[in-house]
Amino acid sequence: MLTPGDEESLLLDIKEGIQYALYLGKQEGRFTEDEIHLDKIRLNKLQYIVNEDHDLGLTFGWFKYGPAPEDVTTDTGVALGPQPGDDIAHLEESRLPSKDHHSTEEFAYYFLRELDDEFDRIATAEETKVYLVSFYDEYAPKDEYAARFTDLYKASARLQQTLDAIGDGKDWHQNSTEFYYELDKEFLPVSEEVSKLESLEHTLEPLEEYRKLLTSIISEAGTEDNLSSSQQAFINNVIRKFYNTVWDFVGQEISLETIRGENVDELRPKVKTNVEKYRGGLWKDELNSLAERRESVGLDPEIEDIEKLESGGNGEDDEQSLDEEMVKRVSEMGAEVISD
């Protein structure tokens, strides 16, 4: 059985195997260094794939971006670019004492020879969130419980493409109206998928409250001739809040139920602690903080806009704060709702 420390060593072997595979692939002319776009998300996906293929025993959970290892390594500065063999200390041996484990070099040849073209595609795909949709189709866990979340993760990956386009701050403001409606369209399938899953019902309110806050801010930003650096920085922070609060809440809940591997008992308590914080209202504090700070950058709504947003809220029947239109759309559960 792997200890948590063993998992740390194994993850480092795999990372360095990927680095060496990138170096060899570049030497073989499979891709140039400029074509390599490997990031931490795709690194995790490669770790997931090799773990599934070779039954390495790593502990995995559906967390944030989908199935990814609980990366316990403290060496977060490991570069994700090509690395020659001479620069890798453990190239021909595993950090683990048993001879049954693969060496860094063996991992490199797994990626180049067994994964082959798929490795090249993962390493060079320009858009991570576009790649994730195909990744979930191909590699998402097939067990009955975990498979229920696949469509949710695909819907979220599509939404994240729009969020990231706004977060990079380059061209979105010139087409802010288009982005406003795109966000509304992409949030709907995420809400639909969450509403299908009884275990995630309580995460629908954070998603909808975040959607209303974000689209309100985007609407106000669209009335500006140009965005100041402080306004774009604030919008970037709002986008990050989806990842580190709203979607994190959903992902942690899913991880709590689907985490698997040899060190589940050691990792689950941390996930449970995070879940309980969100259930206790941490997400409300985070969103309220954004709502309070938007005025300081001149992106607060007019009075009539506030009244319009609040009209779909709790009301006298004390329901979740979903606007009436969204309640109707989510209940219909049909893609035809958004196909004008």
Q: What is the pLDDT of residue 334?
A: 36
Hey, what amino acid is at 230? Answer: S
Matching residue, tokens 């040899």: 262
Number of domains in the chain: 2
Whether 46 and 111 have beta carbons less than 8 Å apart is answered as: yes
From the number of C-beta atoms within 10 Å of its C-beta (0-12, 13-18, 19+), residue 318 rates as exposed
Whether 198 and 255 share a structural domain: yes
Q: What is the pLDDT of residue 144?
A: 82
3-state secondary structure of 178: helix
Distance CA 21, CA 15 (A): 10
Please write the tens of the pLDDT for every residue from 267-286.
889 899 999 999 999 999 99
Q: What is the pLDDT of residue 305?
A: 53
Domain boundary among 127, 148, 170: 127
Q: Residue 57 has what DSSP assignment?
A: -
Query: Measured in whole angstroms, how far is the alpha carbon of residue 304 from the centre of its chain?
Result: 35
Whether 109 and 220 share a structural domain: no
Whether 149 and 284 share a structural domain: yes
Residue 170 lies in a domain: yes
Whether 169 and 247 share a structural domain: yes
Whether 176 and 57 share a structural domain: no
Beta carbons within 8 Å of 96's beta carbon, 6+ residues apart: 6, 9, 10, 13
Whether 100 and 161 share a structural domain: no
Distance CA 192, CA 236 (A): 26
Q: What is the pLDDT of residue 276?
A: 97
Residue 107 lies in a domain: yes
Q: Judging by DSSP bridges, how do beta strands 67-69 and 60-62 pair with one another?
A: antiparallel
Cα 230 to Cα 65, 94, 227, 239, 257, distances in angstroms: 28, 48, 8, 14, 40
What domain range includes position 2?
1-127
Whether 167 and 266 share a structural domain: yes
Whether 101 and 233 share a structural domain: no
Whether 246 and 168 share a structural domain: yes
Whether 202 and 225 share a structural domain: yes
Residue 330 lies in a domain: no
Matching residue, tokens 């740390």: 8
Q: Which pLDDT tens digits describe the chain residue by residue (340 residues)?
A: 888 889 989 999 999 999 999 999 999 999 999 999 998 889 999 999 999 999 998 998 887 667 777 655 555 555 589 999 999 988 999 999 776 789 999 999 999 999 999 999 999 998 999 999 999 999 988 888 889 999 999 999 999 999 999 998 778 999 999 999 999 999 999 999 999 999 999 999 999 999 999 999 999 999 999 999 999 999 999 999 999 999 999 999 999 988 888 888 888 898 999 999 999 999 999 999 999 999 999 999 875 555 555 555 444 444 444 455 544 444 443 333 333 3
Distance CA 167, CA 122 (A): 23
Q: What is the pLDDT of residue 79?
A: 59
